[in-house]
Chain A
Amino acid sequence: MFVVVILLTLAFLFLFWLANHYVFTQLDQISPPADVHVDTRTFAGAFMFGLALFATLFLGVVLAVFLTIGVVSGDAERGLLQPLVVRPVGRSTLLLSRFLGAAAVCVTYVLTVYFAAMLITGLTGHWWPDRIVSPGIELAGAVVIVIALSLLGSVVISSTANGIAVFMLFGAGLVAGLLGTIGHALNSHAVTHASTIAAWALPFEALYQDALRMITEKASGLTGFLLQLGPFGGAYVHGWGIRVWSIGYLVAVLALALFAFSRRNL
């Protein structure tokens, strides 16, 4: 499986480089109306890197789901879990080990792809994000939350149902982000508020939005406004609040997973 992931990732990075190459080669051909001031290099660089951010999140989520989709239900159905669970080491340790293992793999993966994409955009277009490290950490945090949700799902529902449920949650987060973008463009407080609530209910989306915003946090004027509309959901400042909330959310989801696993018949 890892070979497939590596090959797909290399293919993505190659295509991403190709796109960057063409966009920045033809940058001087982008000509906004004379009375509209847009920093085309910042706009192109941030837009391209924003796309990479979404792709990185998506690939990280796919990897997370495939690593954790059947940790309990699937392994129990196949008889892999029972010989381990009856050992003195206990259920909590086993589940937390699986969480940490998946988190270590996914965080490494997300950060690697994130920095590779940043290097590609930076070296090809001579544009670098305003914040280098923090967006990557938030993106990795978003994937860690998905891992916890997937583990919880694997305790209470079957592998197939869990895979569907996690991708539906991911899709719901994406829709919440797009809703926010629409609300922002229409200047609709109600729609934006609904989007914010949904993003906090699914904090991996809020972390993604926060990471997206951080890469262009110094951009202002029309360039800043356009970038805030962002690809695949808007870029919004959630700040330290979402980081603290995400940690609490993660702990709560893991605690729920451990409790459910301790009571589950195998």
Chain B
Amino acid sequence: MPDALAVRGLRKRYGSVEALRGVDLTVGEGELVGLLGPNGAGKSTLVKIAVGLVRPTAGGAEVAGARAGSRPARAALGYLAELFRFPGWYTADEVLELHQQLAGSRGGAAERKRLLELVALDDASKRRVDGMSKGMAQRLGIAQALVGEPRILLLDEPTSALDPVGRRTVRLLLEEMRGRGVSVLLNSHLLSEIELVCDRVAILLGGELVAAGTPAELASPRGVELETDRGTELIAGATRGDVPRLVADAVRDGRSIYGVRVLTSTLEDTYLEAVGGETA
């Protein structure tokens, strides 16, 4: 089975600005990949090329084995744009019904009800879009992306307008999607969110992929912290593999051990190291 998303040597130039400079990225079946990078790194351009909104200058992208932008590719994906709006006079239920028609979904009222429940909008199915808060509209956008049970979800800043409870709802939703085998490419500035839910992380900088891997692979060891009766001691450079020896040495010295912590860098540390503190 082909990857849910495969991006090969992707380049995009807007006039004199090179937004993407030969990016390779894959999102496997049922995989949740986080896309990170400062403003202007090319994240949204990559996602827009994948969904067929933008034409690449060189290279290409495939969605479920079909050329990005083609009808089969569009049929396989669900997309939430960074900036989107639905007609204000539509109710939440009507928005989903419209997208069911456009996506050729036969889920009917049952699908709409299930999706609104998933994003905690089941009480607002008859509410018009122009009467919704920003967070509600964002959650409706996520529900819209899920219409037709897509094989891959491409979400561009899905939690930017959400409060902590809304973010948690989306996080749980993403985990549920992964459980159902849906692949997700999550473009977000929220490192903690990415770290919590993503199987793999890709970091873009200046249109190039500068780091990629699982959060564990990207994290680097920062030492081991031993909590003993003589206080807390940091053994810099030590790794998880050194823990048995460090504990044995401490016991041999007659110290009582109350706790051992293996310290690794956070995704934030890795990210800041990768982008060099750059922002646009």
Contact = CB atoms under 8 A, between A and B. Distances in A.
Contacts, number: 53
Interface stretch (B97-105, B162-170, B271-279): B97-105
Contacts of A79: 81, 83-85
Interface string A225-245: 000000000000000000000
Given A83-B86, A85-B53, 11 more contacts: A79-B84, A82-B53, A83-B79, A83-B84, A86-B52, A86-B53, A87-B74, A87-B103, A88-B75, A88-B103, A266-B54
Give the interface SS of chain B, mostly helix, strand, loop or mixed: mixed
Contacts of A266: 48, 53-54
B67 to A, nearest CB: 14
B77 interface: yes
Contacts of B102: 84, 87-89
B53 A83 contact: no
B51 interface: yes
A263 interface: yes
B104 A88 contact: yes
15 contacts: A79-B85, A80-B86, A82-B79, A83-B99, A83-B141, A85-B53, A86-B52, A86-B74, A87-B102, A87-B103, A89-B102, A89-B103, A89-B104, A263-B55, A265-B53
Given A87-B99, A88-B71, A88-B103, A80 B87 contact: yes
Ranked 9 nearest A-B pairs via Cβ? A87-B102, A79-B84, A88-B75, A79-B83, A266-B53, A82-B81, A79-B85, A265-B54, A86-B51
Contacts of B54: 265-266
Interface residues of A, number: 15
A266 B83 CA distance: 11
Interface in B21-71: 48, 51-55, 71
A90 interface: yes
B144 interface: yes
Contacts of A80: 84-87
Contacts of A78: 85
Contacts of B103: 87-89
A82 B144 CA distance: 12
Interface string A203-234: 00000000000000000000000000000000
Contacts of B141: 83
Interface in A83-113: 83-90
Nearest to B100: A87
Contacts of A85: 52-53
Interface centre among A80, A82, A86, A90 (most CB of B within 10 A): A86
Contacts of A263: 55
A139 B48 CA distance: 42
Contacts of B74: 86-88, 90
B154 to A, nearest CB: 9
Interface in A68-82: 78-80, 82
A90 B86 CA distance: 18
A226 B174 CA distance: 75
A78 B87 CA distance: 10
A90 B73 CA distance: 11
Contacts of A84: 102
Contacts of A83: 79-81, 84, 86, 99, 141, 144
Contacts of A265: 48, 53-55
Interface string A154-182: 00000000000000000000000000000
Interface in A42-83: 78-80, 82-83
A263 B53 CA distance: 9
A84 B141 CA distance: 12
A82 B74 CA distance: 12
A98 to B, nearest CB: 13
Contacts of A87: 74, 99, 102-103
Nearest to B95: A83
Contacts of B83: 79
A87 B53 CA distance: 11
Contacts of A82: 53, 79, 81, 84
Contacts of A86: 51-53, 74, 77, 79
Contacts of B75: 88
A265 B13 CA distance: 12
A219 B87 CA distance: 51
Nearest to B54: A265
Contacts of A89: 102-104
A214 B81 CA distance: 52
